[in-house]
Amino acid sequence: MHPAVERWLARRTYDRADYPLERLQAAKRQTVSVVVPAKNCAETLPGVLTPLLILRDHGIVDELLVVDANSGDGTIEVCAQLGVTVAQEDALLAQFGPAHGKGDAMWRGLWATSGEIVAFLDGDSTGLQPGFVRGLLGPLLCHDDLMLVKGAFARPFQPGGGAAPIPDGGGRVTELMARPLINLHVPELAGFVQPLAGEVAARRDLLERLPFPVGYGVEIAMLIDALRTVGLDRLAQAHLGVRQNRHQPLRDLGAMAYAILVTAERRLGRAPQPGPYVLPGAPEQELVLDERPPLAEIRADGDGADQARWLTSPPIATVRSSSAARSR
């Protein structure tokens, strides 16, 4: 193991058990916002939002926002029943056009909130407990020198059909693409257990200095950019237990990996020109690979008044079947 990574693991790996509610209440000096991007998450959202509402009642979370992607399954109604603020992603920073994915929703949610510490949680997770969120926020509330904390957890794979879960069988894109890429090109980050985790908390001062890829590349981008902005010792991870989210079919994961790879390549000094991602037998779909500018730059321009500077045509990669590829 790289000596710097070994030292970092020993110094900057925390555990949710280290952050009971009383410790956070005593340490809290900054406001906390939590942003939950959601698309058709009515089934899982109650389990995500209820622990956050408990922490809001105890003064740890000050602001909670669900950023919805035009869900049609009752997601908005769930938020209303729980008394949680929900915003449509396209309505936030609307001058930038429609949102194009999870990263775009996170970027717009960051703009719409005001907390000095901002946490992002996926809306499709199950089994979330208050200790999970305490572990994510705790290092930032208790250690002033930290700037970003990434969630670390076990990810079982649930095969379905009554079969038993496969321990650590989840996170297939992480294990087959992201982790090898990090070890090869950014080995300082090799100690992160879940580099693509959607559960992350950071200080607003850092987040507003970072660009946000609009889609799947947002997590790898945030990690690499944060490393280069503040250095490894100001990043941390916290062991949170077990995380279970909805699994996508294996064939759908290639497009996700492709977007992450394009994002990483941009940060490795290369300028890829994304072409079509061919998936034999699959219908065409578009992958928007644009990146939103740092919010600090937009604020400096006067709340986006000089929007023409940023409204460029997004690079779009088409995911199409082999038969469609042959026809072009």
Cα dist from 157 to 38, 168, 286, whole Å: 21, 7, 27
Cβ atoms of residues 287 and 319 within 8 Å: yes
Residue 40 is given by DSSP the state S
Tell me the C-alpha distance between 185 and 272, whole Å: 16
Cβ atoms of residues 45 and 78 within 8 Å: yes
Cβ count within 10 A of residue 265:
16
Which pLDDT value is given to residue 167?
A: 56
Mean pLDDT of the chain: 86
Query: What confidence tier does 271 reach under pLDDT thresholds 50, 70, 90?
Result: confident
Which pLDDT value is given to residue 168?
A: 63
Tell me the C-alpha distance between 292 and 215, whole Å: 10
Cβ count within 10 A of residue 23:
14
Cβ atoms of residues 243 and 155 within 8 Å: yes
Query: What confidence tier does 309 reach under pLDDT thresholds 50, 70, 90?
Result: very low
**With a threshold of 0.85, does the pTM exceed it?**
yes
Which pLDDT value is given to residue 326?
A: 33
Q: What is the mean pLDDT of residues 242-246?
A: 64
Tell me the C-alpha distance between 247 and 159, whole Å: 9
- DSSP letters of 29-83? -S-EEEEEEESS-TTTHHHHHHHHHHHHHTTS--EEEEEE---SSSHHHHHHHHT
Q: Which domains does the chain have, with CATH numbers?
A: 12-251 (3.90.550.10)
Dump pLDDT digits (tens) for 12-56: 999 999 999 999 999 999 999 999 999 999 999 999 999 999 999
Which pLDDT value is given to residue 129?
A: 80
Which pLDDT value is given to residue 313?
A: 35
Q: Which of 170, 178, 186, 231 is nearest to 206 (CA)?
A: 231
Dump pLDDT digits (tens) for 109-151: 999 999 999 999 999 887 788 899 999 999 999 999 999 999 9
Query: Quick one: CA dihedral 245, 85, 142, 204, positive or negative?
Result: positive
Query: What confidence tier does 172 reach under pLDDT thresholds 50, 70, 90?
Result: confident
Which token pair is 236?
């941390």
Q: What is the mean pLDDT of residues 274-282?
A: 78
